[in-house]
């Protein structure tokens, strides 16, 4: 057995220490205005050795106007609360990010040796987020309608950004640096509606919607930072984090050479250049691709996320629930499709050679190969549909239980809509939500997906006894 | 409430005072799972640090030279692997993560980062050894000589192989964009330092290693008298090997692992047609299928397909396991530098004699001197491809340094090669890579590179 197996033993030990001081004061005026002020000071063992203490203040204010006399006569408004907060908060680096470390490895004659592992950054400090949040919570029509709304404007300074370590400096991997300023603005809202309620029928809905605009305000003087140039991802000021920049073919002519279509006069999108780099928002007139900038295709993080759910209760013992959710504003690179078209070239489109845009990308070689897989990742799904039935009490009693319920749930059964459609240059597309996560979550800043699993369709039946 | 507020604000105002306290002691943490840089300043680790330089040079040299054998005309592409096929079909891209940022022991042939890491290790360890912590060590001078000698070899690869290069002028700060000649000139200076150090401690093996290294660099700089002088001092049979073993992937012989292993679909290249059945004819001229078999290039087939399941696999007998060592420098190589230096300075008689020495050592017929210098140079190039077959990226280096001259050696897919129409034996289109591109991650992150 030992000859057929590989045994590994690993152990790791992480220690992180924070020295912090926190002071908070709350003031309540007539049980309707609440003011909180706080200040926090932190030092952390993960900060770079050239960085010390950091101080974060915060304030929040809330007011419940429905407790005021002038709203006593507004019958449809049950409760109303306005809230606002401003504060700063820090995010410390991970435990080893600042440290320059060496890795023990095996050398000649099985001797242990040391090799450069992590370049570290002695100047690494926490990123500091400053956020203004305004919103309200309201209950209407005897709380049959509940509304929550929040607007936020978050500015992250000294954002900790992972950049590739410069290989010529001798260390592999990545380096964490405090680079510039990133702004996130957006809204979050939720509406709960209890539309109808009687002894035999209950009907409830919930709507959620969030929008986040992510933008790099500055990179501390750098025109751009390589996030993962293999996939065309760069941090560029004025664009979202890890945006995808590639040449975009807009037209090409096909000529027949020895019975095979070849592209000619391949033109790409132009546009105003970002200072210091060959990146552009695009939108300019076509130019020969050799002269064209890398134009913006999108970002891996979604801009919009939301959902609609409905819950129907019949005769107090049958509940039917359905949830539809959606993601919008997300782009990803489908490695399976890209390689099929322009690496292995075994797709029907590449055999027939009729699509001038696809052949135009092929003609760009390395500079055009990956565009054949850059896809709009927006979708809407019937995420959950379920029925929950409480069996009559006599069945429960027959089994000496106090309650018996049967639930049948279907998950990910139907992709209602995808922005990219069913095919990309004629190649069948799979589920755009191919990650290990569920519920419309995204795979972070990495735009590339290949050989990953689609979301599993599940039907789950549950019989539950309560005693 | 008023009292509480007073207390709160007192505390708040005391924050700056707390901040001024020396809390570093509280924040000291143990990281037994990592070796911090400060731990290296320990004289007991001196030998370990220097062995680390050798280890990183060995790893990077192994991966680099095997990769260049695959990329040169020594192999035709026979891989069924998405990444490895690009090495055989000359599609090495500046954005390829494995080529540019892959680590020792990684997939395909991690090249750029391991070479830069090994180069840095040589500089960094030497600089530490010069520090106070190591003063007074009994074997300090020996260790310094080893670090300088071994740590200079990555510069040969960085100078010879890449279209553009950068190395720091001051360690820790990005360097300028440099030409091949500039990098090789730095290597020459460092080998000269290494020679002085090695001679100072009487380490003959290290002296000879540095001499062959400098001879190679001087050939690249076309300093033929200098190369001749260095190579002539190397004693017969001398060699320094890159040790390999089967323990972990960073220790494996990548020629075997990627190209020559006959099991596990690891034949990602098959020895090219024009390296099979090499012979020497009756007049001592190199031929194919016409004369005495040239035992220096012992290529054979078992009739089975390589990893693409299509192309017949041809392999050699130089590396037959993960643990087989490979050459860093050899006497044979030094003699070929002498032959080239003689040929390129018009000394046909000496070049012929040097080649015939190697022929005799291999049990092969001697050749008569050619009539012209150009014929002699062509013969030296041909002898080098045989004598130094699948060793030290020598063939790739010849393909690069003679490019654009009358002695140009075409890459596969180019006119004059065995696949002259740009199409491989499988019908795949070759790419255009010749010299290796400076990786985009370096161009993008180095502010000194426009």
- pLDDT, mean of residues A255-270: 93
Give the residue carrying structure tokens 């797709």. A347
- Classify A58 as helix, strand or coil: strand
Three-class SS state of B79: coil
Q: Collapsing DSSP states into helix, strand and coil, what is residue B368?
A: coil
Which residue is closest to B29 within chain A, CA to CA? A15
- A-interface mutation test, from B3, B6, B9, B12, most A Cβ less than 10 A away: B12
What radius of gyration do chain A's Cα atoms show? 28
Of the partner residues B104, B250, B444, the one whose CB lies closest to the CB of residue A229: B444
pLDDT for res A399: 85
Average pLDDT over residues A226-234: 88
B31/A99 touch (CB, cutoff 8 Å), yes or no = yes
Which chain A residues are within 8 Å of B26, Cβ to Cβ?
17, 19
Is residue A164 within 8 angstroms of chain B, CB to CB? yes
How confident is the prediction for chain A on average, in pLDDT? 89
Q: What is the pLDDT along chain B (450 residues), one digit of tens a residue?
A: 444 556 566 666 665 666 556 666 777 777 666 788 999 999 999 999 999 999 999 999 999 999 999 999 999 999 988 889 999 999 998 888 899 999 999 999 999 999 999 999 999 999 999 999 999 999 999 999 999 999 999 999 999 999 999 999 999 999 999 999 999 999 999 999 999 999 999 999 999 999 999 999 999 999 999 999 999 999 999 999 999 999 999 999 999 999 999 988 889 999 999 999 999 998 899 999 999 999 999 999 999 999 999 999 999 999 999 999 999 999 999 999 999 999 999 999 999 999 999 999 999 999 999 999 999 999 999 999 999 999 999 999 999 999 999 999 999 999 999 999 999 998 888 999 999 999 999 998 899 998
In order of A158, A385, A390, B390, the CA distances from B209 in angstroms are 49, 73, 84, 20
Query: DSSP character for A247?
Result: -
Q: Read off the pTM.
A: 0.81
Section A333-360 average pLDDT = 92
Q: Would you place residue A435 in the very low, low, confident or very high pLDDT band (cuts 50, 70, 90)? A: low
Banded model confidence at residue A45, pLDDT cuts 50, 70, 90 = confident
Whether A257 has its CB under 8 Å from any CB of chain B: the answer is no
Do the Cβ atoms of B251 and A106 come within 8 Å?
yes
Model confidence over B361-380: pLDDT tens digits? 999 999 999 999 999 999 99
User: Are A238 and A222 within 8 A, CB to CB?
Assistant: no
Give, in order, the Cα–Cα distances in Å from B76 to each of B65, B398, B409.
Answer: 16, 18, 15
The 10s digit of each residue's pLDDT in A137-184 is 999 998 999 999 999 999 999 988 888 899 999 999 999 988 889 999
Nearest chain B Cα distance for residue A389, angstroms: 52
The string of pLDDT tens digits covering residues A76-121 is 888 999 999 999 988 888 878 888 999 999 998 888 999 999 999 9
Chain A hits for B37, Cβ within 8 Å: 99-102, 120
| Contact between chains at A23 and B8 (C-beta distance less than 8 A) | yes
Closest residue to A366, CB basis, from B49, B54, B93: B93
Whether B37 sits inside 8 A of A224 (CB atoms) is no
Query: Do residue A15 and residue B31 have CB atoms under 8 angstroms apart?
Result: yes
Q: Are A273 and A290 in contact (CB under 8 A)?
A: no
* Phi, psi (deg, nearest 5) at residue B268: -80, -10
For residue B81, the chain A residue with the least C-alpha distance is: A344
Is the ipTM higher than 0.85? The answer is yes
* Alpha helix stretches (DSSP H) within B248-393: 254, 331-344, 348-361, 373-387
Beta carbons of B15 and A163 less than 8 Å apart: no
Cβ <8 Å between B55 and A113:
yes
Nearest chain B Cα distance for residue A433, angstroms? 25
Q: What is the C-alpha to C-alpha distance for residues A187 and A207, in angstroms, rounded to an integer?
A: 14
What three-state secondary structure class fits A370? helix
d(C-alpha A446, C-alpha A449), whole Å: 8
DSSP state of A257: E
Count CB pairs under 8 A between chains A and B. Answer: 190
């Amino acid at each position: 057995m030992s000859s057929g197996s590989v045994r590994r033993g690993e152990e790791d030990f992480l220690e992180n220490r924070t020295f912090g001081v926190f002071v908070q004061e709350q003031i309540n005026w007539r049980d309707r205005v609440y003011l909180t002020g706080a200040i926090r000071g932190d030092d952390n063992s993960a900060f770079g050795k050239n960085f010390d203490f950091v101080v974060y203040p915060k304030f929040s204010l809330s007011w419940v106007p429905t407790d005021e006399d002038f709203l006593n006569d507004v019958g449809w408004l049950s409760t109303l609360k306005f809230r606002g907060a401003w504060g700063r908060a820090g995010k410390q680096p991970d435990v080893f990010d600042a440290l320059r470390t060496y890795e023990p490895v095996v050398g000649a004659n099985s001797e242990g040796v040391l090799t450069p592992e992590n370049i570290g950054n002695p100047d690494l400090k926490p990123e500091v987020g400053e956020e203004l949040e305004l919103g309200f919570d309201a209950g209407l029509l005897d709380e049959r309608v509940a509304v929550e709304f929040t607007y936020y404007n978050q500015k992250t300074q000294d954002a900790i950004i992972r950049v590739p370590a410069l290989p010529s400096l001798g260390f592999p991997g990545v380096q964490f640096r405090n680079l510039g300023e990133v702004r996130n603005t957006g809204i979050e809202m939720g509406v709960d509606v209890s539309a109808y309620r009687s002894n035999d029928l209950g009907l409830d809905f919930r709507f959620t919607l969030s929008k986040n605009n992510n933008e790099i305000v500055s990179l501390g003087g750098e025109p751009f930072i390589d996030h993962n140039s293999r996939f065309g991802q760069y941090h560029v000021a004025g664009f979202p984090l890890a945006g995808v920049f590639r040449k975009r073919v807009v037209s090409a002519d096909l000529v027949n050479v020895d019975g095979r279509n070849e592209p000619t006069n391949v033109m790409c999108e132009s546009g105003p250049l970002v200072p210091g780099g060959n990146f552009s928002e695009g939108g300019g007139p076509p130019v020969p691709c050799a002269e064209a900038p890398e134009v913006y295709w999108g970002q891996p993080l979604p801009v919009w996320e939301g959902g609609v759910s409905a819950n129907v209760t019949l005769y107090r013992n049958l509940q039917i629930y359905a949830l539809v959710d959606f993601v919008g504003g997300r782009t990803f690179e489908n490695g399976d499709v890209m390689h099929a078209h322009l690496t292995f070239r075994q797709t029907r489109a590449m055999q027939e050679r009729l699509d001038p845009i696809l052949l135009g990308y092929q003609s760009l070689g390395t500079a055009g190969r990956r565009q054949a897989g850059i896809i709009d990742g927006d979708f809407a799904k019937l995420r959950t549909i379920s029925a929950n039935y409480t069996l009559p009490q006599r069945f429960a009693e027959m089994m000496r239980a106090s309650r018996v319920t049967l639930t049948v749930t279907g998950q990910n059964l139907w992709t209602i809509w995808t922005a990219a459609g069913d095919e990309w240059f004629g190649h069948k597309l799979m589920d755009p939500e191919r990650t290990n996560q569920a519920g419309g979550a995204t795979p972070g800043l990495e735009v590339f997906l290949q050989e990953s699993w689609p979301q599993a369709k599940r039907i789950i039946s549950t019989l539950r006894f309560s005693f | 409430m008023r009292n509480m507020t007073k207390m709160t604000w007192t505390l708040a105002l005391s924050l700056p005072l707390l901040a001024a306290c020396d809390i570093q002691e509280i924040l000291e943490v143990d990281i037994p799972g990592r070796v911090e840089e400060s731990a290296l300043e320990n004289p007991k680790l001196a030998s370990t640090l220097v062995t680390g330089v050798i280890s990183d040079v060995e790893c990077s040299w192994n991966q680099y030279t095997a990769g260049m054998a695959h990329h040169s005309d020594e192999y035709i592409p026979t891989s069924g692997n998405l990444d490895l096929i690009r090495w055989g079909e000359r599609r090495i891209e500046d954005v390829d993560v494995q080529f540019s940022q892959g680590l020792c022991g990684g997939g395909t042939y991690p090249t750029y980062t391991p070479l830069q890491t090994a180069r840095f290790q040589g500089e960094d360890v030497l600089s530490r050894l010069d520090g106070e912590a190591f003063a007074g060590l009994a074997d300090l001078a020996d260790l310094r000589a080893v670090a300088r000698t071994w740590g200079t070899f990555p510069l040969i690869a960085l100078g010879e192989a890449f279209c553009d290069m950068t190395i720091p002028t001051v360690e820790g700060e990005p360097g300028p964009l440099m030409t091949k000649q500039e990098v090789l000139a730095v290597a020459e200076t460092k080998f000269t330092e290494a020679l002085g150090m090695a001679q100072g401690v009487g380490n003959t093996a290290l002296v000879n290693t540095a001499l062959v290294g400098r001879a190679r660099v001087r050939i690249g700089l076309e300093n033929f008298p200098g190369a001749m002088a260095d190579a002539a001092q190397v004693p017969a049979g001398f060699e320094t090997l890159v040790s390999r073993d089967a323990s972990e992937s960073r220790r494996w012989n990548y020629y075997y692992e990627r190209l020559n292993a006959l099991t596990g679909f690891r034949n990602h290249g098959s020895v090219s047609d024009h390296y099979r059945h090499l012979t020497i004819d009756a007049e001592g001229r190199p031929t194919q299928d016409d004369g005495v078999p040239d035992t220096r290039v012992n290529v054979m087939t078992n009739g089975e397909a390589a990893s693409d399941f299509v192309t017949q696999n041809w392999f050699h007998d130089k590396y037959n396991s993960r643990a087989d060592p490979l050459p860093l420098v050899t006497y044979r190589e030094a003699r070929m530098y002498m032959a080239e230096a003689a040929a390129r300075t018009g000394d046909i008689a000496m070049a012929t004699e040097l080649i015939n020495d190697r022929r005799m050592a291999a049990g092969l017929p001697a050749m008569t001197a050619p009539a012209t210098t150009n014929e002699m140079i062509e013969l030296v190039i041909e002898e080098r491809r045989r004598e130094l077959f699948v060793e030290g990226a020598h063939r790739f280096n010849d393909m690069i340094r003679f490019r654009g001259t009358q002695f140009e050696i075409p890459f596969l897919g180019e006119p004059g090669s065995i696949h002259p129409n740009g199409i491989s034996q499988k019908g795949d289109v070759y790419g255009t890579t010749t010299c290796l591109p400076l990786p985009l991650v370096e161009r993008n992150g180095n502010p000194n590179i426009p």
